[in-house]
Amino acid sequence: MNSTAFCILASAILVHVILVIVLLHSRLPIPPVGIHVSSAACSYAFMHLCLWLYECLATYWLCMAALAFAAMIFLFGYSAVYKSLSLRVLVRLSVNHTHMLDMTWVTERVMRRSFDERARMLAAAGMVECNPEGVRLTEKGAKMAVRLGAIREFFGARPDGLYFSAPIPREKS
Amino acid sequence: MIPAPPLAVIAALVAGGTMPLLLALCARLPLGRATTSRGFWLATTLSAGIWCVVTFVAVRESGAPYIRPVPADEIVAGALLLAVAMLVVYSFWSLACFGFTVSMLLMLRSETSVKDIGEWAGSFGFGGGMPALARDRVGVLLRAGLARTDGESLRLTTNYAFLFARFVVLISRVFAVADTE
């Protein structure tokens, strides 16, 4: 890879990083993954145009692969900070002046709160309905559950982990 | 305007494309305990093997195989694309099989509804509920040496753990992630 192509690649990665950060701060009604994907597409178009203008298309595949890899690692880094419950607990520990937390507090204030957030998200997406009679899947949620169950079955995922929760058993009438 | 892809790149796309099938296949092999994670690493290794064979191995007219010389930039491009394909497949696979929200949704597959969100949360993780989830997530910090248990409490271990936590806060602010602190 020559120095021109390297500069173009570095600029495209920088464009992606800046664009993602600006868009995330702008609070647009776009999901974070959508922001990452759109920004990666824009920076790819920018890189492709520059490679063509500066006659560096011989390095196209190397630059494209490196940009895709950088965008993917960036997305993984973002996801860790955005969703990780472990990191949320670590941050709470560091904020507390004694650097200590009670496990009951962690359970109620971090885990349960996260569960409630996700439950609200599922309800807002029309997958689940919560009413005085209880919590149940909507028709849309039931269809999605069937699809996800089929994907799990295809991948042969076994109920051997915490996140592979069994369906709640039916009540005996 | 786009040059033809070199063989290493085509091989990366082929090997990446076989990953979902390999994952499905490896999950059905008798790999003992931790089948899912072992199956994932086996599928990854097989996929990388397919890429290596397609990229480097060629056959002479006489039928004898030989190692083909491949330019370094083509190898790097192919390897990076294969890594991207693996990361994409890993994201979908882990989300579908072990996603927190996905698991919550699948818990409600039965015809009967749960009484309220509290009962739903209590049924998570085969009835372990939120305490089991807390132990599982805190276990990551314990194994990484960032925290230790002190009776029923959790404590930061070293200054390194504190600095790492502050780094996470800094990154969260850069990414505009709310509610980390």
pLDDT digits (tens, 9 = 90+) for A47-73: 999 999 998 898 999 999 999 999 999
Chain B residue nearest residue A169, CA to CA: B110
Partner-chain contact A166 B141, CB within 8 Å: no
CB-nearest to A57 from B3, B77, B153 is B3
Report residue B13's pLDDT band, with 50, 70 and 90 as the boundaries. very high
CB atoms under 10 Å from CB of B174, counted, come to: 15
Q: List the one residue out of A95, A88, A9, A87 whose CA is nearest residue B179.
A: A88
What value, to the nearest 5°, has the Cα angle with vertex A66 and ends A61 and A68?
A: 95
Contact of A153 with chain B, judged by CB distance below 8 Å, is answered with no
Chain B residue nearest residue A115, CA to CA: B121
pLDDT of B18 higher than 80: yes
Q: Which residue has the higher pLDDT, B121 or A159?
A: B121
Report residue A171's pLDDT band, with 50, 70 and 90 as the boundaries. very low
Chain A residue nearest residue B140, CA to CA: A86
CB-nearest to A155 from B77, B96, B130 is B96
Average pLDDT value for chain B: 87
CB-nearest to A90 from B34, B141, B149 is B141
Cβ-based contacts under 8 A for chains A and B: 274
CB-nearest to A111 from B20, B133, B149 is B133
Asked if residues B134 and B143 have their Cβ atoms less than 8 Å apart, the reply is no
Segment B139-172, tens digit of pLDDT: 889 988 999 988 888 998 888 889 999 999 999 9
pLDDT reported for residue A173: 40
Partner-chain contact B84 A69, CB within 8 Å: yes
pLDDT reported for residue B64: 87
Q: What is the pTM of this model?
A: 0.85
Alpha-carbon gap, residue A47 to A60, rounded angstroms:
9
List, as ranges, residues 3-62 from A with C-beta within 8 Å of B. Answer: 21, 24-25, 27, 48, 52, 57-62
Alpha-carbon gap, residue A137 to A2, rounded angstroms:
56
Q: Closest Cα of chain A to B58: distance in Å?
A: 22
Element (H, E) at B154: strand B153-156
pLDDT reported for residue A118: 92
Contact of A94 with chain B, judged by CB distance below 8 Å, is answered with yes
Residue A110 structure tokens? 């971090």
Segment A138-153, tens digit of pLDDT: 999 999 999 998 888 8
Highest mean pLDDT among A11-20, A55-64, A112-121, B24-33: A11-20
pLDDT reported for residue A160: 53
Give B169's contacts (C-beta < 8 A, 6+ positions apart).
Answer: A91, A94, B180, B181
CB-nearest to A78 from B135, B164, B175 is B175
Mean pLDDT in residue range A100-110: 91
In terms of DSSP H, where are the helices of B27-116? 35-56, 72-98, 100-107
